[in-house]
């Protein structure tokens, strides 16, 4: 469990909080490029790290992320006119470019130089791989973008998506670094006999209590969770936490799957989940990979990686109106008690929706002083320690957190692999984790 003080440090992300300061050292996904589909398109409200901001794409195609309130008298720039290279407040006509510079003050005398003395708060943006990244930090020159392989794929192979979670960022992320829940929440009603013999899933279902090894890395930390496989061999699920809020989950074959997930705090109580991955639907080896993983199986696994049973709702323009699913707490996430009794462990259809229900059910911010952690929570414990340590070094000593100035450390992969039981899992998987095989 955590102390109340440490729980508050980890979960509060506003501008003047310790964790907020840590997050602001990094580039963060802010929105999908598709949300700003063309020059001079409609602005978008963006809630990021507790700040209310307005995103817009100017006439030349550049993306701006600017303060919500016009610096003049505080009217929202969301209602502004996006035209001719800037966003113009409709209250008095003041106009700002993507850097926050005031381009025009039509209600001031022509001889006034006031516009040259004023600047709106605006944050640098960069687009890559279908994601608009934002830097909310203190540096005049931002650090480099993290070298995330999944965010640098050719457009034809890249797949990006986003969903909101109505809970704190940390409890959403912790679901990604907890491999043992996979055997219950997602596979609780599936037996080993129903899946492909000799597959990853067979080994997962024959032993639902993996043993763990956890190590710190230069980008965060990593776990290897193993179970017995064929005689003399072990099945390892290897996954990554990457500062400040990225994960590489252990599904797929180690070295083959390219995927990054980001759990970006909108504020203390809401999280925007970004998924960046390689679309391998046309891969000629896809069927072989599915067999190896064990996804040629009974209908009980028809929800293994599909979308939520209840569809995504259309985006609305309010602060929490983007990327919402129709499955939510008010309709119990589509829970079907008859399905739960007869065919499916959770009674909730879809892996994403199952995870959403569990993490949101903890409340906006879970009180970690009341939890009771076991050996299966070793990665969760390590990530919390790494975050707390990085926060304290930053706040007390001014030490730059891991990965900020070393973008290359983010180029790593995760997944499953079969190893001899006497193998050193770190040495044996070094090439696959680096994507060199």
Specify whether the CB–CB gap between 132 and 234 falls below 8 A.
no
Domain boundaries, the chain: 27-135, 149-433
| Per-residue confidence in pLDDT tens, the chain, 437 aa | 799 999 999 999 999 999 999 999 999 999 999 999 999 999 999 999 999 999 999 999 999 999 999 999 999 999 999 999 999 999 999 999 999 999 999 999 988 989 898 999 999 999 999 999 999 999 999 999 999 999 999 999 999 999 999 999 999 999 999 989 999 999 999 999 999 999 999 999 999 999 999 999 999 999 999 999 999 999 999 999 999 999 999 999 999 999 999 999 999 999 999 999 998 776 767 666 666 666 544 444 544 444 344 578 999 999 999 999 999 999 999 999 999 999 899 999 999 999 999 999 999 999 999 999 999 999 999 999 999 999 999 999 999 999 999 999 999 999 999 999 999 999 999 999 999 87
What was the pLDDT predicted at 6?
97
Rounded to whole angstroms, how far apart are CA atoms 371 and 382? Answer: 16
Exposure string (b/e) for 380-405, b if CB count within 10 Å is 16 or more? bebbbebbbebbeebeeeeeebbbbe
Q: What topology is assigned to 27-135 in CATH?
A: Rieske Iron-sulfur Protein (2.102.10)
The model carries a pTM of 0.93
Closest by CA position to 20, among listed 265, 221, 219, 274: 265
Rounded to whole angstroms, how far apart are CA atoms 365 and 287? Answer: 41
Q: In what order do the strands lie in the sheet with 122-123?
A: 44-48, 51-57, 63-67, 122-123
Exposure string (b/e) for 28-54, b if CB count within 10 Å is 16 or more? bbbbbeebbeeebeebbbbbbbbbbbb
Both tokens of 74, joined, read 């505080």
What was the pLDDT predicted at 95?
98
What was the pLDDT predicted at 281?
76
Whole-number Cα distances in Å, 355 to 108, 189, 205, 361:
54, 16, 19, 10
What was the pLDDT predicted at 102?
97
Specify whether the CB–CB gap between 134 and 242 falls below 8 A.
no
Closest by CA position to 218, among listed 436, 382, 403, 24: 403
Specify whether the CB–CB gap between 429 and 415 falls below 8 A.
no
Looking at residue 166, the DSSP 8-state letter turns out to be S
Residues paired with residue 28 on neighbouring β-strands, in sequence order: 134
């Amino acid at each position: 469990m955590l102390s109340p003080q440490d729980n508050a440090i980890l979960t509060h992300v506003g501008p003047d909080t310790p964790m907020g300061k840590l997050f602001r050292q990094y580039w963060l996904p802010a929105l999908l490029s598709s949300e700003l589909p063309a020059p001079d398109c409609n602005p978008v409200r963006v809630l990021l790290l507790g700040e209310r901001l307005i995103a817009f794409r100017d006439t030349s195609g550049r993306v701006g992320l600017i303060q919500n309130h016009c610096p003049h008298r505080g009217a929202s720039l969301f209602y502004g006119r996006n035209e001719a290279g800037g966003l113009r407040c409709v209250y008095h006509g003041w106009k700002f470019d993507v850097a926050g510079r005031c381009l025009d003050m039509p209600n001031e005398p022509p001889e006034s130089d006031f516009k040259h003395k004023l600047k709106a708060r605006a944050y640098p943006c960069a687009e890559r791989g279908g994601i608009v990244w934002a830097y909310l930090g203190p540096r005049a020159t931002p650090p480099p973008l993290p070298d995330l392989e999944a965010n640098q794929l050719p457009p034809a192979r890249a797949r990006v998506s986003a969903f909101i979670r109505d809970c704190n960022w940390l409890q959403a992320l912790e679901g990604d670094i907890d491999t043992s829940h996979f055997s219950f929440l997602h596979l609780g009603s599936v037996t080993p006999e129903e899946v492909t013999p000799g597959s990853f899933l067979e080994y997962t279902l024959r032993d639902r209590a993996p043993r763990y090894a956890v190590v710190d890395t230069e980008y965060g930390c990593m776990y290897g969770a193993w179970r017995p496989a064929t005689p003399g061999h072990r099945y390892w699920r290897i996954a990554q936490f990457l500062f400040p809020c990225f994960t590489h989950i252990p599904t797929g074959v180690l070295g083959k799957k390219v995927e990054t997930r980001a759990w970006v705090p909108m504020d203390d109580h809401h999280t925007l989940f970004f998924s960046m991955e390689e679309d391998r639907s046309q891969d000629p080896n896809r069927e072989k990979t599915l067999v190896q993983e064990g996804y040629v199986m009974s209908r009980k696994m028809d929800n293994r990686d599909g979308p939520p049973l209840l569809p995504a709702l259309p985006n609305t323009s309010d602060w929490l109106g983007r990327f919402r699913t129709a499955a939510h707490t008010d309709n119990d996430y589509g829970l079907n008690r008859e399905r739960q009794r007869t065919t499916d462990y959770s009674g909730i259809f879809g892996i994403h929706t199952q995870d959403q229900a569990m993490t949101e059910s903890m409340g906006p911010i879970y009180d970690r002083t009341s939890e009771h952690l076991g050996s299966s929570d070793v990665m969760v414990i390590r990530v919390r320690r790494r975050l707390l340590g990085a926060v304290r070094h930053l706040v007390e000593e001014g030490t730059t957190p891991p990965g900020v100035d070393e973008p290359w450390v983010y180029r790593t992969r995760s997944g499953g692999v079969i190893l001899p039981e006497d193998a050193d899992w770190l040495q044996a998987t070094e090439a696959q984790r680096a994507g060199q095989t």
